[in-house]
Structure 1
Amino acid sequence: MSISQSQRQTSTSGDTKTPPSAPRSIFSKVTGGGLAHGLLTNKKALFGLTILFLFVVLAVLAPVLMPGNPSNFTADVSAAPSADHWLGTTAKGQDVLALTLWGSRSSLSVGFAVGLIATFIGCLVGIASAYFGKVTDELLSLLTNIFLLIPGLPLLVVLAAFLPPGPATVVIVLVITGWAGSARVLRSQALSIRGKDFLASAIVTGEKTWRIMFLEIMPNMASIVMSTLLGCIIYGIGAQAGLEFLGLGDTSSVSWGTNLYWANNDGAMMTGDWWVLIPSGLAIALIAFALAMINYAVDEVTNPRLRAEKKD
Structure 2
Amino acid sequence: MTSASETVRLTPAQVARQRRAAALRRTWTSFRRHRSGLFGLALLTFFVAVALLAPVLADAQGLEVTKATGGVLEPPSREYWLGTDENGRSILTLLIWGARISLFVGLLATLISMVIGTFIGLSSGFFEGWPARLLYRVTEWFLVIPFVPLAIVLASILGRSLINIVIVIGVTSWASTALLIRSQTLSIKERPYVERAQVLGAGRWHQMSRHVLPNVMPMVFANTTLTVALAILAETTLSFLGLGDPTRVSWGSMLDDAFTVGAMTTGAWWYIVPPGVCVVLVVLAFTLVGQALEEVFNPRLRERA
TM-score bracket for the superposition, by shorter chain length = 0.7 to 0.9
Residue 192 of structure 2 is aligned to residue 197 of structure 1 = yes
Residue 239 of structure 2 is aligned to residue 244 of structure 1 = yes
Q: TM-score if structure 1 supplies the norm length?
A: 0.84
Q: Give the Cα–Cα distance (whole angstroms) in 2 for the partners of residues 128 and 194 of structure 1.
A: 12
Q: Which of 259, 263, 283 is residue 268 of structure 1 equivalent to?
A: 263
**How far 1:114 moved relative to its partner?**
1.2
Could you report, residue by residue, the CA deviation over 1:206-248 in whole angstroms, capped at 9, with x for unpaired residues? Answer: 4454443243213322443133212221111001110110101
Partner residue of 1:216?
A: 211
Residue 37 of structure 2 is aligned to residue 37 of structure 1 = no
Q: Give the Cα–Cα distance (whole angstroms) in 2 for the partners of residues 195 and 280 of structure 1.
A: 48
Q: Which of 75, 93, 98 is residue 88 of structure 2 equivalent to?
A: 93
**How far 1:108 moved relative to its partner?**
0.2
Q: Give the Cα–Cα distance (whole angstroms) in 2 for the partners of residues 245 and 30 of structure 1.
A: 45
Q: Give the Cα–Cα distance (whole angstroms) in 2 for the partners of residues 304 and 97 of structure 1.
A: 43
Give the paired residue count: 284
**How far 1:262 moved relative to its partner?**
0.6
The one-letter code matched in structure 1 to 2:134 is L
Structure 1's 28 and 190: CA in aligned 2 closer, same or farther, altered over 3 A?
Answer: farther
**How far 1:141 moved relative to its partner?**
1.1
Partner residue of 1:285?
A: 280
Structure 1's 188 and 305: CA in aligned 2 closer, same or farther, altered over 3 A?
Answer: closer
Partner residue of 1:81?
A: 76
Q: Give the Cα–Cα distance (whole angstroms) in 2 for the partners of residues 270 and 240 of structure 1.
A: 25
**How far 1:152 moved relative to its partner?**
1.9
Higher relative CO (Cα under 8 Å, sequence separation at least 6) belongs to: 1
**How far 1:30 moved relative to its partner?**
8.0
SS of aligned partner of 2:63:
coil
Partner residue of 1:147?
A: 142
Indicate if the aligned counterparts of 2:84 and 2:90 stay in contact, CA closer than 8 A.
Answer: yes
The one-letter code matched in structure 1 to 2:197 is A
Partner residue of 1:231?
A: 226
The Cα RMSD (Å) is 2.1
**How far 1:42 moved relative to its partner?**
2.5
The one-letter code matched in structure 2 to 1:40 is R
Could you report, residue by residue, the CA deviation over 1:115-167 in whole angstroms, capped at 9, with x for unpaired residues? Answer: 12101211111111111122221121122223223332211111111212111
**How far 1:299 moved relative to its partner?**
3.0
Partner residue of 2:50?
A: 58
The one-letter code matched in structure 1 to 2:243 is L
Q: Which of 149, 163, 166 is residue 161 of structure 2 equivalent to?
A: 166
Q: Give the Cα–Cα distance (whole angstroms) in 2 for the partners of residues 199 and 245 of structure 1.
A: 48
Q: Which of 48, 68, 74 is residue 60 of structure 2 equivalent to?
A: 68
Partner residue of 2:293?
A: 298
Partner residue of 1:180?
A: 175
- Of residues 183-192 and 300-309 in structure 1, the stretch that sits farther from structure 2 once superposed is 300-309
Gaps of 5+ in 1: 1-26
SS of aligned partner of 1:253:
coil
Q: Give the Cα–Cα distance (whole angstroms) in 1 for the partners of residues 163 and 75 of structure 2.
A: 35
SS of aligned partner of 1:81:
coil
Gaps of 5+ in 2: 1-18
Partner residue of 1:5?
A: none
SS of aligned partner of 1:77:
coil
